[in-house]
Structure 1
Amino acid sequence: MIKLRSKRSISKLGNGNKATSPAEKDCRSFTEVKWELRPGGMLVQKRESNLGEGDGLITIRVTTVSKWHDISIESTSTFGELKMILSLVTSLEPREQRLLFKGKERDDSEFLHMIGVKDKDKVLLLEDPVLKEKKLLGLARGQTFNNPCCTISV
């Protein structure tokens, strides 16, 4: 995140020739605007949030069929980066994983905060059924070829 400071002038409200108090002068003079650079490259005014300065970590509960994992990750990370972390926790490679959030499968290039993933949200992790089937077929073929009691003629 890039922090830029700029000053925004607030125009005078038509108060005619009335005298203004010092408090009104302070309010109208300048207000500080904080800017942030979004992952897409857009420079926008910083949103107010409950998180502290520089604290962008969120905790996501990733559930599988039988287990769940609490993962702490930056909110500006991508689903691909989440898959890399999950590959360390589970035995699944990132290409074997399918991540679903709010009922939709998410691409590796999508950012968590842009999709709306917030702290303590849940993401569903499924194993890709096509790769799972290929893996099982490969194991079944490997067992028949390596089995010394069976002879296979080609």
Structure 2
Amino acid sequence: MLRMKPKATRVSSPVKSTSPCGGRGGSETATAAVAGWEMRPGGMLVQKRSSDSNQNSSPVPNIKVKVKYGSSYHEIIISSQASFGELKTILAGPTGLKTQDQKLIFKEKERDSKAFLDICGVKNGSKIVLIEDELSRERRCAESRRNAKREKASKDIQAIRFEVDKLAKQVASIEMEINGGKKVMETVLLNMIELLMTQLIKLDGISADGDVKLQRRMQVKRVQKYIETLDMLKIRNSGLGKAAGNNIFTIQNQNQKEQRNQGNFINNPRPAVVTTKWETF
């Protein structure tokens, strides 16, 4: 019998595909699973860059790129296989721009942070333009203004709180005097109410949100509570004045009655009554 020769299995080579930087798109197939290949952004299949796939591969070379930002230039040494996002991270130091505020322009086209330098054609000596994202800058400026406004509102509330604390001690002192039966001048109570109303108006003029808004609400409740307390003390204090006047009137009536009784006794003396027997000589 003739032996059948086993058919040799043929592994198809991965389909070539160009990156988005080249302008042509390749078909995504199952060849991404072939050993030694990996899927890159845009669906392109390239050889794996991990050193584990090929221990004998040569090290990845570094390249020097020239980045123009405004009127200044920055020479950056970076891996040729690095991404534009990694380049932004390096540029954040010398330029002072956050990575989310950066736009990198290469060959008159903005590059995505996930795109790789070598795939987009960046070589040693290539020039890249860095500009600041205007929308991001506006957002950052708006956030800075909000933070400054929030900080100012917090300081204003703290100052009002300090004044309210001092007024609270005076309210407690007045309350002790009135509860002890001592009458307080009505002008003192009115002045205290007016001072508290002034602080309430200041709090109403503060625009705040978040935690600062909660602090303002707490101080408003405090001031309203002290004003209500003073209103109650004012009513109680006026009652103390009437009671004191009635007491004085009663004492005066008693004094006048005693004086009349003494006058009647002088004008109409009563006969003396002898209660002791004396011996006659």
The interval holding the TM-score normalised by the smaller chain is 0.5 to 0.7
Alignment match, 1:75: 80
Alignment match, 2:144: 139
Deviations 1:53-104 (A, max 9, x none): 5361110011111221100011111101111111222212211111110111
* Structure 2 Cα separation of the partners of residues 57 and 39 of structure 1: 23
Bigger Cα Rg? 2
Deviations 1:9-56 (A, max 9, x none): xxxxxxxxxxxxxxxxxxxxxxxxxxx867745349xxxxxxxx5361
Alignment match, 1:42: 46
Q: Which amino acid aligns with 1:91?
A: G
**Offset of residue 135 of structure 1:** 1.7
User: Which secondary structure state, in structure 2, belongs to the residue aligned with residue 95 of structure 1?
Assistant: helix
TM-score when scaled to structure 2?
Answer: 0.34
* Structure 2 Cα separation of the partners of residues 95 and 61 of structure 1: 20
| C-alpha contact (below 8 Å) 2:67/2:130 kept by paired residues | yes
What is the RMSD computed on CA atoms of the aligned residues? 2.9
In structure 1, the gaps of 5 or more residues are 1-35, 45-52
Greater than 6 Å deviation, 4+ residue runs: 36-39
More strand by share: 1
Q: Kindly indicate whether structure 1 or structure 2 has the higher relative contact order, using CA contacts under 8 Å at least 6 residues apart.
A: 1
Q: Which amino acid aligns with 2:139?
A: K
Aligned pair count reads 110
| C-alpha contact (below 8 Å) 1:39/1:76 kept by paired residues | no
* Structure 2 Cα separation of the partners of residues 62 and 56 of structure 1: 19
Q: Which amino acid aligns with 2:142?
A: L
Identity %: 32
User: Which secondary structure state, in structure 1, belongs to the residue aligned with residue 81 of structure 2?
Assistant: coil
| C-alpha contact (below 8 Å) 1:64/1:125 kept by paired residues | yes
* Structure 2 Cα separation of the partners of residues 39 and 118 of structure 1: 22
